[in-house]
Homo-oligomer: A and B are copies of this chain.
Amino acid sequence: GAAPAIVKAQANIRWRLASSFPKSLDTLVGGAEAFAKNVTEATGGKFTVSVHAAGELVPAFGVVDALQQDTIECAHTAPYYFFGKDEAFALDCAIPFGMNARQMTAWMYEGNGLKLLREFYAQFNIVNFPMGNSGAQMGGWYRKEIKSVADLNGMKIRIGGFAGRVITKLGAVPQNIPAGEIYQALEKGTVDAAEWIGPYDDLKLGLHKVAKNYYYPAWWEGSTQFSLLVNNKAYNALSNEYKAIVRQAASDAHVKILGRYDGHNPTALKQLIAEGAKLQRFPKDVMDAAFKASREVYAEINGKNANWKKIYADYSRFQADAYQWQGIAEGSFDQYMASQKL
């Protein structure tokens, strides 16, 4: 039976987590809160993590600086926000025509992804853990139909991060507009189109009320992985047990965040269609031109960024093999099921 014993008690640990996302994204801020709850529960409250939405502790795009400067213990973010510091951040998140969600997770855990990215992040005093994925996103809301790639010429598109470099090659003009201002910009015609995430999050912004054409897929975000980034001093100060708990708590949130998107997007899509959204598939020449442009961008980065070159070589090999298999069992099954009346 259990008997009282003298043990060395661990000091209570309090971490602050800075999210790059606003509270309105309950998928993502909710996922960080699930992580925090996991840690609390697994340690009986001896280790807690307080979750702060974007701007509460540091600005949305200031979390990597804050981690480097030991200002916060951890952050939850979409690492491609930091591709301006180094393009390799995007390989922990999303690149145009990149891997889908399952492939990305497999690359992280069974391929060399986590190992290579840990080496990369060490340059920033960071230890990374995959924590969530949105799945394939939607291509956004367009005031006019896109008949061919020529229609993109001169078009102002609100689009996130890395994709801007690719659409610039197609003649479009990428615009960086925060979530809260997208509706007005699209309504007034300051932008011709705006992409955000997918049905569940887009519905909240109400973009379908000002631009009916809802294009798919977001070829720039076949999946978007989110990461828990931990300051390495804070991480290394943890006991082995607490390190294991952080890792497993993040894994559980990784599952739950994608589950939340997959669970809520279907009903949100039905509602969007009922309220007038018109589903449109990008014409093949748009896909092909964007695919070609993305390969040119990667060749350029390969020529000047050693971090990117090393990680991307492994990423693209893994992806090529993965897609050869994806189209067989998984793809043919999904295609058949999506064509049935269920």
Contacts and interface: CB of A to CB of B under 8 A. Distances in A.
Interface of A: 1-11, 38, 41-44, 97, 100-103, 105-111, 135-139, 198-199, 216-219, 222, 239-241, 244-245, 247-249, 251-252, 254-256, 258-267, 269-270, 279, 281, 287, 291, 316, 319-340, 342
Nearest to A100: B334
A3 to B, nearest CB: 7
Contact of A105 (B2, B239, B241, B255): B255
A198 to B, nearest CB: 7
A334 B331 CA distance: 8
Q: Is the interface of A mostly helix, strand, loop or mixed?
A: helix
How many chain copies? Answer: 2
Given A102-B101, A337-B323, A332 B216 contact: yes
Given A4-B6, A101-B102, A245-B42, A321 B267 contact: yes
A262 B106 contact: yes
B105 A258 contact: yes
A328 B202 CA distance: 15
Contacts of A251: 248, 251-252, 255
A304 to B, nearest CB: 23
A270 B329 contact: no
Nearest to A273: B324
Contacts of A44: 239-241
Given A109-B256, A248-B251, A323-B340, 4 more contacts: A110-B260, A217-B333, A217-B336, A269-B324
Nearest to A264: B110
3 cross-chain pairs, A with B, having the tightest CB-CB distances, nearest first: A110-B263, A327-B338, A106-B262
A325 B263 contact: no
Contacts of A340: 97, 291, 323
A263 B136 contact: no
Nearest to A244: B41
Contacts of A241: 41-44
A96 to B, nearest CB: 11
A2, A261, A263: which has the most chain B beta carbons within 10 Å?
A263
17 contacts: A2-B9, A4-B9, A5-B6, A97-B340, A101-B102, A102-B102, A102-B258, A106-B261, A106-B262, A136-B330, A138-B329, A219-B336, A222-B333, A222-B334, A255-B255, A291-B340, A323-B342
B334 A326 contact: yes
A245 B245 CA distance: 8
Contacts of A267: 321
Contact of A137 (B105, B111, B239, B329): B329
A243 to B, nearest CB: 8
B247 A135 contact: no
A264 B262 CA distance: 25
Nearest to A316: B342
A35 to B, nearest CB: 10
Nearest to A328: B216
